[in-house]
Amino acid sequence: MERTLGLIKPDAIAAGHTGKILDHILQAGFRIVGLKMLHLSRVQAETFYAVHRERPFFESLVQFMTSGPVIAFVLEKPDAVAAYRDLMGATDPSKAAPNTLRSLYGQNIERNAVHGSDSLENARREISFFFSEAELLALETPAFSAV
């Protein structure tokens, strides 16, 4: 079993897509083992996206990610990182495959509805950024899942 971090970004929350996105994730066979809503501070957003600090879009990304609440969640499934990245679709919603989260709910390359870890190593780092071990369900604990 593998875990990955996902975020529902401020644009998708403001547009009222939270429930549809979570349902789409559950229907794809993921188990949600941690879930919280928060409003990132500037320092939190800068720290989380520090890998992009030298990129030209860093400042607008930080402004966007602090513009409203986000929902952070931890997903569990075999090969979760790759499976969730497939479900999200390409970063640019106009290039994302049909029925991916970004094709359905993203507006543009910056306001693309969701985030997901890009490697198992980053998933571990990103999960620990948002969640303590105590906040995550153990493997045998019932969790949110599709019925």
Catalytic residues, by residue number, are: 115
> Using CA atoms, how far apart are residues 106 and 81, in angstroms rounded to an integer?
20
3-state secondary structure of 145: coil
- CA quadruple 38, 24, 128, 117: dihedral positive or negative? negative
Pair of tokens at residue 98: 């049909």
Pair of tokens at residue 120: 């198992």
Specify whether the CB–CB gap between 18 and 70 falls below 8 A.
no
Return the residue matching tokens 């290039």.
95
Specify whether the CB–CB gap between 2 and 79 falls below 8 A.
yes
Type of residue numbered 40 = L
